[in-house]
Amino acid sequence: MVDVVSAAVALVFLWGSAMGGMEDGTLESRFEYEYKVLQKLIVLEMEKNELRGMVTALKTRLEEAETVIRALNTTVRKVATGSTYIRWGRKTCPSETGARPLYDGYAGSSSHLHSGGGNTYLCLPRDPVLDDIQGGSRSYIYGAEYETKGGTLWREMQDEEVPCVVCITPNTNVVMVPAKNVCHPGWNLEYAGYLMAEKFDHSAKNYVCMDGEPDDLDGSRGNQDGALFYFVEASCGSLPCDPYIQGYELTCAVCSLPPVN
């Protein structure tokens, strides 16, 4: 604004000089030229100030847009990142890792005596939605029990029914690591325990990581069998028994990878 005032003063001064120049015969063409130059300078200065105001406004809008984008990115990370896993043998998720429950329920699968049916342990919810379909053949699903009698660990859990909980963690890429109860560098431990599965001469099922401090279902004691959980031990041969040891039970860990900020 100071530049505009200065140019205007110069213009007035030039006008006064021109009037005097006309009286003493100075050429009018020089005045006209300088007058037009000053007019142009004034216009350019006003346009510059206007552009400066527009740039300031655009910078403000850009900063506001960046704030909105950062907030959206934070929301997207919360919604789009994360994973789920089943914590076998427990009713709650490990709160120290930031995990929260989706639902808890009962471990179940096909009977250990049946050669058919599913070969996967499932975490069955406490609030099932069922239907009564008439006619036809069926597959069956049973509850699961700990089979730990005769050992030095968890003997008190024999025949207890197994709880489970599906956990949501804000971390990503959840993996169950067999034969280790710690995670690799850069990964977070969700929980650790022991590898378990059906007995070697029962119908085969997948291996799961049973929590190292297992719970039972309230009032569940009773030898109902159905699906069963046994410890898993190393058997030398095709499995190299250095570092594995014949007859030693395998631990396990469920690990998650923190999101990249």
Alpha-carbon separation of residue 253 from 51, 95, 194, 248 (angstroms): 62, 16, 8, 17
My answer on whether 74 and 87 are in the same domain is: no
Domain that holds residue 125: 83-129+137-257
My answer on whether 145 and 25 are in the same domain is: no
Cα separation, 4 vs 32, whole angstroms: 19
My answer on whether 46 and 99 are in the same domain is: no
Task: Tell me the pLDDT band of 79, cut-offs 50, 70 and 90.
Answer: low
Using the 3D structure, point to which of 79, 97, 117 is the last residue of a domain.
79
My answer on whether 113 and 147 are in the same domain is: yes
Alpha-carbon separation of residue 194 from 24, 149, 214, 229 (angstroms): 111, 16, 10, 11
My answer on whether 71 and 173 are in the same domain is: no
My answer on whether 166 and 199 are in the same domain is: yes
Kindly tell me if the per-residue pLDDT of 160 is higher than 60: yes
Averaged pLDDT for residues 92-121: 92
What amino acid occupies position 3?
Answer: D
pLDDT at 121: 97
My answer on whether 112 and 19 are in the same domain is: no
pLDDT at 11: 47
| pLDDT per position as a tens digit, 26-64 | 556 776 777 787 888 888 888 888 888 888 888 999 999
Question: Domains in the chain: how many in total?
Answer: 2
My answer on whether 44 and 108 are in the same domain is: no
My answer on whether 121 and 74 are in the same domain is: no
Judge contact between 221 and 158, C-beta under 8 A: no
pLDDT at 234: 97
Q: Look up the pTM and report it.
A: 0.70
Cα separation, 210 vs 190, whole angstroms: 12
My answer on whether 141 and 220 are in the same domain is: yes
Kindly tell me if the per-residue pLDDT of 2 is higher than 60: no
Least confident of 1-10, 20-29, 120-129, 162-171: 1-10
pLDDT at 244: 97
Angle at 130 between CA 125 and CA 135, to 5 degrees: 140
Judge contact between 17 and 28, C-beta under 8 A: no
